Amino acid sequence: MICMRCGGCCTYLDVAIIDPAAIQADGRSDPSKPLIHKPAGKICPYLAFSGEVANCSIHHLPCYEQTPCQQFEQVGREDDFCILGSYLRAASQKRSDAVP
C-alpha cells in the first residue's frame, strides 16, 4: 500500500502508539513502558504537517519498528494507493454534519 501522507489514519483511527515518555536518547523505547492508546478523532502527538503533507516524527527512529503503525497494511496489492484516507475524512465529515 502506498501512503498518500494525508494523516487520516493518524487522526481518525484508534491506534496503539509509543508512549512519548518511553522514547530514550538513542531513539529506542524503554521496553518496560507499554504502548499507549491514541483514541479515534484525536491527533497523534507525533503527527506534523508540512503544508498538506503528513509527517510522523518518529517514523525514522528504532522505536517505530514493529509498532502497529509500522505494521499497518490494507487489503490489496502492495503498489495500490491507500483508499482509507478519503473514507475516513468522509466518515468524519458525516459525523460532524450530524451534530446539531
Look up residue 25 and give its DSSP letter.
T
Binding segment (CB under 6 A) for ligand SF4, from list 5-13, 24-32, 91-99 = 5-13
Strand ranges inside 1-100, DSSP E: 15-17, 36-38, 47-50, 53-56
Q: What are phi and psi of 55, to 5 degrees?
A: -130, 140
Retrieve residue 42's grid coordinates: 484525536
Specify the DSSP element, H or E, that contains 96: helix 84-98
Q: Does 8 bind ligand SF4 (CB under 6 A)?
A: yes
Q: Quick one: 8 or 31, whose CB is closer to ligand SF4?
A: 8
Binding segment (CB under 6 A) for ligand SF4, from list 20-28, 29-37, 82-90, 92-100 = 82-90
**Site for ligand SF4 (CB under 6 A): which residue of 28, 40, 44, 61?**
44
Look up residue 18 and give its DSSP letter.
-
Catalog residues that contact ligand SF4 under the rule CB under 6 A.
Answer: 3-10, 15, 17, 44, 46-47, 54, 56, 58, 69, 82, 84-85
